[in-house]
Structure 1
Amino acid sequence: MKKTDLAKSDAKKLMNKMTGPSAGRFGGTPAAPAIDKREQRKLDQALGLVPFAVKINSELVKRLQDRATERGQDLNTVVAEVLAKGLGD
């Protein structure tokens, strides 16, 4: 990568930060500060959470998402409950 390309990339990052949404969505209240991915990974590890990717039918995903919205929980919690119940834990 050329030095000029690096400078352009840095300038674009800076411009995106400056023009990014400072207030929340649609000019409402300010959005909650986003947690850095590294910090989120540390929090997950402290809770004993491990990333686990699987490929399942889209209908099952839809049902899980619907169940999560019904209960007002996040998808990770619902999937953990369903797996524990299915495994007899």
Structure 2
Amino acid sequence: MNKFQLEQNKAFKLANDLKQGGKGQIGVAGQAKVDRREQRKLDQAKGLVPFACKLDEKLVAQLKERALTNEGGLSEVLVELLVKAGLER
């Protein structure tokens, strides 16, 4: 592997990290990064399941704005809103 290929691989890894973890995992000191498999196991142990749906752009933008101020992130914001709407946890 030459130097160009090494740098290209670093760029691909960085781009993938940004896609997967967002800005929350970059530059955070003292926080161990958990791989996907381990995170899935942790989520399953908590009873969490992935749920995908399609939403309007404006609504998603509002959700993301709220998620920036919430420690739990987007998932926690959605849980709070669904509970307020009358769904039980």
TM-score in same-fold range (> 0.5)? yes
The CA distance in 1 between the partners of 2:87 and 2:75, in whole Å, is 18
For residue 54 of structure 1, report the CA deviation from its aligned partner.
Answer: 0.3
- Partner secondary structure for residue 75 of structure 2: helix
RMSD: 3.3
1:61 is the counterpart of 2:60 = yes
Number of residues of Structure 1 aligned to a counterpart in Structure 2: 72
For residue 30 of structure 1, report the CA deviation from its aligned partner.
Answer: 6.3
For residue 46 of structure 1, report the CA deviation from its aligned partner.
Answer: 0.6
For residue 88 of structure 1, report the CA deviation from its aligned partner.
Answer: 4.3
> Residue 49 of structure 2 corresponds to which residue in structure 1?
50
TM-score, length of structure 2 as denominator length: 0.60
Structure 1: runs of 5 or more not aligned: 1-7
TM-score, length of structure 1 as denominator length: 0.60
Identical amino acids, percent of aligned pairs: 42
State the 4+ residue runs in structure 1 displaced beyond 6 angstroms: 28-31
1:71 is the counterpart of 2:77 = no
- Aligned pairs for 1:9-88 within 5 A: 16=9, 32-88=31-87
Larger Rg: 1
Structure 2: runs of 5 or more not aligned: 15-25
Distance 1:49 1:29, change over 3 A: closer
Distance 1:83 1:33, change over 3 A: same
